[in-house]
Chains A and B, each alone.
Chain A
Amino acid sequence: MAETTLTHTDRMAPRPAGWQGIAADWASDQRAFKNVSWGKAMMWIFLLSDTFIFGCFLLSYMTARISTRVPWPNPSEVFALRIGGSEIPLILIAIMTFVLISSSGTMAMAVNFGYRRDRRKTAILMLLTAALGATFVGMQAFEWTKLITEGVRPWGNPWGAAQFGSCFFMITGFHGTHVTIGVIFLIIVARKVWRGDFDIGRPGFFTSRRGRYENVEIMGLYWHFVDLVWVFIFAFFYLW
């Protein structure tokens, strides 16, 4: 596997400036991104591809919303909870968003402790991240249940455009699937950390490759991405 730091820089020739320099750097020997390992490069490129998937979902939703001829249900009212006798708009979504953003924080701390080779703290923080992610999914399930009992279906709802339910279930469902997959992998990687696989260089069960603490960071990239996507969903679906 690749080293993450570039060595022998003293032997490199001077590089041209400007655009030519950018092209020359990209085209340089062996690796286009000098201090990026294979796994990290692969995750970044996957996330780029995944961005296009979520981009297409959101653009399709926006198309449906701006072209519909019947009123679009008001998200502030639909996603309000009755707490203590008053309707509080978007309260559940706000809590969900807070939980997910916090999980990014614990993930970042896990990456930090991973590079310090603090097995215990890394594993605990990853499990905490997974727990926050599972909480998010749980609250989403609650939200789905609430809307379904109020009569929202993929093919229609009591308040207006049928595409409201279609887009809601499709986009939050797809995002929720991403979070769930993330939770599962967080638990798998946390187990590896806990067991010390990355310290003793234990080969992976399927791949027979030795993992490294960088895997925690790669896992983190995915997790932050899922978080970032949620921010866009939050902005475009709930706040619009």
Chain B
Amino acid sequence: MVDVTPADAVPPAEVGEVELYHPHSWWTKYVFSQDAKVIAVQYSATATAIGLVALVLSWLMRLQLGFPGTFDFITPEAYYQFITMHGMIMVIYLLTALFLGGFGNYLIPLMVGARDMVFPYVNMLSYWVYLLAVLVLVSSFFAPGGPTGAGWTLYPPQAIMTGTPGGQDWGIILMLSSLILFIIGFTMGGLNYVVTVLQGRTRGMTLMRLPLTVWGIFTATVMALLAFPALFVACVMMLLDRLLGTSFFMPAVVEMGEQLQHNGGSPILFQHLFWFFGHPEVYIVALPAFGIVSDLISTHARKNIFGYRMMVWAIIAIGALSFVVWAHHMYVSGMHPYFGFFFATTTLIIAIPTAIKVYNWVLTLWRGDIHLTIPMLFALAFIVTFVNGGLTGLFLGNVVVDVPLSDTMFVVAHFHMVMGVAPILVIFGAIYHWYPKVTGRMLDETLGRFHFWVTFLGAYLIFFPMHYLGLMGIPRRYAELTDMTIMTESAHHLNSFISIMAFIVGFAQMVFLFNLIWSIRHGREAGGNPWRATTLEWQTPHTPPAHGNFGKELPIVYRWAYDYSVPGAKEDFIPQNVPGSFGLGPSREQP
């Protein structure tokens, strides 16, 4: 293919200037704001607040597991409520909301060179519905019977029966209602993110010039728009089962010697619906992390990302494949062996695009000018953690290996490594990276390094021993592990050790929160582009970016996002909006 357009040619604007809503008062500027940047901060703050609840819940669980019998107030019922709420909050209300609602809102318009999301009003509604979902969720802690204790997967029939905390009380009703609200709110935001990336880019910003951060968030949002419907339907049907006495998921059950009125429903149907959402959900959380970490590594190693095109195709391939693997969560539910064969195969195929990404990150680092800044430290920690969690995924993806490991601590270790710790390390790295743009000041370096080392090493010390516990056959989701023959003395010690580490890591997060608040006023002045990065959000005339993002004129993009250390260039980075035919970007990308 021949590049016939000169590299400097500026394509004509296809879209006229947008009318922005200009706030008139404090309320419309900071509270009911239609500015994606404010909405992003609102999303992030709410997600962090509810995340702290999940952190405390995990402490309570570790208290019980590490020191069984010591804390009387943690009854088995309470333990199940903690475990359920911890899981649901972390996966949905923290990780999904923070990556897509928080980083998506902040970074998409800035990175693609737009003044705002395409429909700011709908975007604002998205946040308020999300907040309502969080409030409904929190209210279940105060409802009679407490929150649901059905496990975060909410499997029927137990989820809506008397033996389960919240099953015949308010707990499960509020949980399902909150999820339905979350999905409605997310859809409003998600439509905005997708249309902004597809239709709202600035001149010169082809899709193949997008930073990988945008690619990750964009693909994850598309997946979420197609995966959340299954959860929505599952929630509606379970609500009907619980409230109207239908039998979608409820088979004939005898409870306490009494035949329930339910008859003929299929619990497996719920599992299929749930995991058709649940597995893509893993990648909805992971893909934004993949994208962000690519940009962190490239920026802080002063080197272009290795194999940009392959990175993009790998993201798309992972997104597509993740819709055909869901039943690998159901090997022990019972299915035709050929299905197990199919789902094991597709699961293992995902390792190929994922491995491409890992190799490309490592090759980006290879002979780079690596700056061990805090974002870079978190990015490196992510690669290690993710490889670890990914490898145990290969164990669990195989039917014969999964069956004995199913419902053991090995599974807990695996998913915490791969979709708990790894994405959260990226979130931390991203916050250290973009905080200077959001506030204009740097986060404190010393506190940051303390936070990094305690979090990274601590998280390893928490979750790595769990692999051994799992291989010993220690089950997960048991409130009491004391009287089992497999619980040896050493396993007990390991459990206590894990619990103590959990408290230390949790404490480090308090340091991080302090740093976040303290640095708003006392941090070092950052300037517009402290990391000397190429992407558009660092080229704004104001820091923090003003309403409308780019001042009078929208930037024009001339190159890809990874022109670092270009031979012959004056500086070791060339921002995307600097004209000129030199640079490392693929020359095939025509504007």
Contact = CB atoms under 8 A, between A and B. Distances in A.
A155 B4 CA distance: 68
A155 B244 contact: yes
B7 to A, nearest CB: 12
Contact of B191 (A42, A53, A56, A170): A42
Contacts of B261: 155
Nearest to B261: A155
Contacts of A146: none
Interface string A170-183: 10001000000000
Interface in A127-161: 154-155, 161
A49 B14 contact: no
Contacts of B208: 27
A116 interface: no
A210 B19 contact: yes
A14 B237 CA distance: 52
Interface stretch (A85-93, A188-196, A201-209, A228-236): A201-209
Interface in B29-85: none
Contacts of B246: 154-155, 162-163, 165-166, 170
B87 interface: no
B303 interface: no
A52 B191 contact: no
B540 interface: no
A45 B225 contact: yes
A29 B247 contact: no
Contacts of B203: 29-30
B248 A31 contact: no
Contact-size category for A = 35 or more
Contact of B201 (A6, A31, A53, A162): A31
Contacts of A42: 118-119, 191-192, 195
B191 A28 contact: no
Nearest to B203: A30
Contact of B19 (A31, A38, A209): A209
A53 B234 CA distance: 10
A45 B199 contact: no
Interface in B563-577: none
A41 interface: yes
Contact-size category for B = 35 or more
A32 B198 contact: yes
Given A6-B14, A45-B195, A170-B237, A70 B230 contact: no
Interface string A103-143: 00000000000000000000000000000000000000000
Given A45-B194, A53-B229, A57-B233, A63 B199 contact: no
Interface in B8-24: 9, 11-16, 18-19, 21
A74 interface: no
Nearest to B120: A207
B273 interface: yes
Given A16-B1, A49-B229, A60-B273, A67 B266 contact: yes
Nearest to B190: A49
Contact of A31 (B15, B230, B266): B15
A2 B15 contact: yes
B19 A56 contact: no
B504 interface: no
A34 B195 CA distance: 13
Interface in B161-206: 187, 191-192, 194-195, 198-206
B446 interface: no
Contacts of B9: 11
A68 B248 CA distance: 11
Contacts of A6: 14
B580 interface: no
Nearest to A28: B206
A208 to B, nearest CB: 5
B12 A8 contact: yes
Contacts of A69: 264
A3 B247 contact: no
A63 B230 CA distance: 14
A39 B269 CA distance: 36
Contacts of B264: 64, 68-70, 161-163
B503 interface: no
Given A3-B15, A42-B119, A154-B244, A26 B225 contact: no
A14 B265 CA distance: 58
Interface string A37-54: 111011001101110110
A49 B247 CA distance: 26
A24 B192 CA distance: 23
Interface in A4-19: 6-8, 11, 13-14, 16
A11 B247 CA distance: 62
Considering residues A7, A14, A29, A63, which has the most beta carbons from chain B within 10 angstroms of its beta carbon? A29
Contacts of A60: 233, 237, 248, 269, 273
A81 interface: no
Contacts of A28: 206-207
A232 to B, nearest CB: 15
A98 interface: no
Considering residues A31, A38, A41, A163, which has the most beta carbons from chain B within 10 angstroms of its beta carbon? A38
B267 to A, nearest CB: 12
A153 B19 CA distance: 51
A16 B206 CA distance: 16
Interface in B245-273: 245-248, 261, 263-266, 269, 273
A236 to B, nearest CB: 15
Given A38-B195, A170-B237, A3 B14 contact: yes
A3 to B, nearest CB: 7
A57 B230 CA distance: 9
Contacts of B233: 53, 56-57, 60
Contacts of B468: none
B13 A163 contact: no
B475 interface: no
A158 to B, nearest CB: 15
Contact of A56 (B13, B14, B194, B229): B229
A209 B120 CA distance: 10
B586 to A, nearest CB: 12
A3 B226 contact: no
A41 to B, nearest CB: 5
A80 interface: no
Given A2-B15, A56-B273, A60-B248, A29 B237 contact: no
Given A30-B14, A41-B198, A161-B264, 11 more contacts: A13-B5, A29-B205, A29-B206, A30-B199, A31-B199, A32-B198, A38-B119, A45-B194, A154-B245, A207-B120, A209-B21
7 contacts: A6-B14, A26-B207, A28-B207, A31-B199, A45-B225, A52-B225, A52-B226
Interface of B: 1, 3-5, 9, 11-16, 18-19, 21, 118-121, 187, 191-192, 194-195, 198-208, 225-226, 228-230, 232-234, 236-237, 240, 244-248, 261, 263-266, 269, 273, 276, 590-591
> Which 8 pairs from chain A and chain B are nearest by CB?
A27-B207, A52-B229, A166-B246, A56-B233, A53-B229, A155-B245, A207-B121, A49-B225
